A and B are shown apart, each in its own frame.
Chain A
């Protein structure tokens, strides 16, 4: 296979990844690593660098739309970015000492978790009694515009717990080169009790910054290879853009199930290859 055909096939693969990622809300970066390692037999370190860059691209691209709508809680995102960037730097440091097959196994587990998360019931948690003093002091409570009932206000709870979970999400992001959006949403939905719309957009807003914190390390380490990044970034961006156009018309429920099964299968294969030392 020549570089030209390799690039074109990878471009198509990345386009599909971006399209399915945006339609199902799982993000495009999540399938880039198995695509590169299992299908294209690239070393997992190149795959991690490439996926990291892809997640910055999709997150910045879609965050630009969300931020304009005024749903994103910028203060909350900024505050939690202290946790995610610290975690990302730690993750990028750990990555040097961790054998690549262990990285593959951890990646597989996070992938299974992410695909299960996409099935969770979308029910709002009842707001706790009493206000969080810390949230008040940090001015984290916010409001967002809705089409039905005007501007809706909400309060943020359990700030330390959410902060801790975000640090963990940051470590995973730095170690595995993924946005770890599922972990971020878990921290904001389940722990901090923030409305879905706000948590998904704020998590997306934070992914770019978190990924950038470890990408600057990986660039210097030679993980970020232009020959791989070029088709992947362009493909994922085009796919995500097409996905956002289709989103209003497509029935995503069936698609989400299919995609999650595919991801689960890829995850098992990553774990298997990790144990047999093939990755």
Chain B
């Protein structure tokens, strides 16, 4: 019985940690999107939007080095995009956290399952699927 209880509490600690990490990820990325948005609107607010035809995004917004380069130049669009990248990374970081959590629990079956999910996402990122 004692064992059951300590397991329940350990699970609970991990859940608290995951909850906190998700919240911080969302807050940090939306602050960044907001700051970038203000800069973007001040500089480009008077221009015309054009999303009717699909032309992708301008150069430097579709890959990490390009996004970072623009952030260093204080480009509003790039700061927004970095915030978006952080937002996309939030659930991915959550998975990485879970790997550690399951390792601490010595639940090796779930260490494997979690690593598999992480592997699928990394493959999706690096696999040249963008075409």
- Bound together, the chains give a CA A53 to CA B48 distance in angstroms of 23
- CB of B124 within 8 A of CB of A213, answer yes
Whether, in the assembled complex, A229 has its beta carbon less than 8 Å from a beta carbon of chain B, the answer is yes
Whether, in the assembled complex, A82 has its beta carbon less than 8 Å from a beta carbon of chain B, the answer is yes
Partner of B124, one of A46, A64, A89, A225: A89
Partner of B88, one of A92, A96, A219: A219
- Bound together, the chains give a CA A233 to CA B37 distance in angstroms of 11
- Bound together, the chains give a CA A141 to CA B67 distance in angstroms of 43
- CB of A220 within 8 A of CB of B62, answer yes
- Bound together, the chains give a CA A217 to CA B114 distance in angstroms of 20
- Bound together, the chains give a CA A227 to CA B39 distance in angstroms of 12
User: Residue on B with the closest CB to A4?
Assistant: B45
A residues less than 8 Å from B116 (CB atoms): 82
- CB of B62 within 8 A of CB of A222, answer yes
- CB of A220 within 8 A of CB of B63, answer yes
With contacts A42-B52, A74-B15, A227-B77 known, is A85 near B121, CB below 8 A?
yes
- CB of B61 within 8 A of CB of A60, answer no
A residues less than 8 Å from B129 (CB atoms): 89, 92-93, 217
The interface bits of chain B over 76-98 (1 if a CB of A lies within 8 angstroms of the residue's CB, else 0) are 01101100110111111011001
- CB of A40 within 8 A of CB of B51, answer yes
Which of A78, A220, A222, A227 is most buried by chain B, counting CB atoms within 10 A of its CB?
A: A227
Partner of A56, one of B19, B56, B87, B121: B87
Partner of A209, one of B14, B51, B117: B117
- CB of A228 within 8 A of CB of B51, answer yes
Instruction: Report the minimal beta-carbon distance from B36 to chain A, rounded to whole angstroms.
Output: 7
Of A65-73, A183-191, A264-272, the one with at least 4 CB within 8 A of chain B = A65-73
- Bound together, the chains give a CA A254 to CA B40 distance in angstroms of 40
Whether, in the assembled complex, A75 has its beta carbon less than 8 Å from a beta carbon of chain B, the answer is yes
- CB of A230 within 8 A of CB of B37, answer yes
Chain B interface secondary structure, helix, strand, loop or mixed? helix
**Contact-residue size bin, chain A (C-beta under 8 Å from the other chain):** 35 or more
B residues less than 8 Å from A7 (CB atoms): 37, 41, 45
- CB of A82 within 8 A of CB of B117, answer yes
With contacts A60-B90, A85-B120, A215-B88 known, is A70 near B15, CB below 8 A?
yes
Whether, in the assembled complex, B44 has its beta carbon less than 8 Å from a beta carbon of chain A, the answer is yes
Instruction: Report the minimal beta-carbon distance from B13 to chain A, rounded to whole angstroms.
Output: 11
Whether, in the assembled complex, B65 has its beta carbon less than 8 Å from a beta carbon of chain A, the answer is no
Instruction: Report the minimal beta-carbon distance from B64 to chain A, rounded to whole angstroms.
Output: 9
The interface bits of chain A over 201-233 (1 if a CB of B lies within 8 angstroms of the residue's CB, else 0) are 000000011011111110111111111111101
- Bound together, the chains give a CA A79 to CA B117 distance in angstroms of 8
Whether, in the assembled complex, B23 has its beta carbon less than 8 Å from a beta carbon of chain A, the answer is yes
**9 closest A-B pairs (Cβ-Cβ)?**
A222-B56, A208-B91, A4-B45, A220-B130, A226-B80, A42-B51, A64-B22, A68-B19, A43-B54
